[in-house]
Amino acid sequence: MDRLKRGVYLGLSLAGTFALFVGFAVLTRPTRENYLLLVYAGLLLAVAAMVVLGAPTRWIERFTLTITALFFLIMTWLNLHGIGHGAGVWPPLLWAGIVYLLAYVLLPPKQAYAFAWRYYLMLLLGGLVALQLGVAHGRLGGEQINDTLQILLSNLGYLWISRLLVAFGIRAEADRAQAKQMQKLADTDALTGCLSRRRFLEEAEAALTSERPGSLILFDLDDFKQINDTHGHPTGDRVLMRSVRRILHNLRGEDRLGRLGGEEFAVLLPGLGLDEALLLAERLRRALEAPGDDAPAVTASFGVVETSGLGSTRELLTHADRALYRAKRAGKNRVAAAHG
């Protein structure tokens, strides 16, 4: 995204520079005010240079918004001052709405609207002063009043359009935040914080379709129902959360832990073969059986399977489940591998 934004800034700054130079070149008798076009063109070239030299995007955006706002403020003040001497609306001011648009694009919605209001107040107050100075020796005619109102009211229109954009932006942010929260709820087990069953199976399906080798560990806490029956469900919940913390402590950043239901969990291990996965499962088994002060000790039985050669998550879990139950039948608190 940052690379795309920088490319857009580079293209727009170069295009704007070219347009300003062309606009100045076609003027038969450039005025003092028109030389501001060249100043702004030079500043846009500076924006392009910042992009090429790798300046932080945040600096580029702030510089662009600042120079654009100053350029149109000064042009507006000079134009209103000149109206008193018979000048009409200068063509560059037809593009004044870009200030409000830039504010909306480059700033968070509420900051953009605050910036737009401050900009308009500066334009209005400074413009009225410039207009008064321009008409110190005569009254405004009907055409001059019309030109003045065009400038001030068009900017007021840009301001209210930016308000509308900001309202949509705030609503869009709220919708994105809500969607993100809903996605998090759907992807995460509410009690333990690991992946939900649905999300874990999606990850496993993606691993199966890739060409990268890997393994899966399926484990089940031994005699967990007795813990709930003897100590109560709150204690059982603490055992589950403690177990997840211990498992996560022993996993790599790319490994994925999911709760498939109740006291049954699975770990997806991208890039690990069966032998390495068996060693990890043994380490996890020892971590889980270690006593804890906050809840009763618990053990787990493990089934380990390699993902290579398996075509579906159903097949993957079936193989792992068979290995898990071999570990259960062999006395629990042990690791078994699925072969073939």
What are 216's strand-pairing partners? Answer: 268, 305
CA distances from 100 to 127, 154, 173 (A): 17, 12, 19
Instruction: Evaluate whether 172 touches 166 at the Cβ level (below 8 Å).
Output: no
Instruction: Evaluate whether 222 touches 300 at the Cβ level (below 8 Å).
Output: yes
Angle at 139 between CA 147 and CA 125, to 5 degrees: 60
Judged by DSSP in three states, 258 sits in strand
Known catalytic residues are 263
Residue 234 in tokens: 């709150």
Amino acid in the structure at residue 305:
V
What is the β-pairing status of strands 335-337 and 300-306?
A: parallel
Q: What are phi and psi of 229, to 5 degrees?
A: -70, -35
Q: Please tell me what DSSP assigns to residue 91.
A: G
Q: Show Cβ contacts of residue 284 under 8 Å, excluding neighbours closer than 6 positions.
A: 217, 219, 246, 247, 250, 267, 300, 302
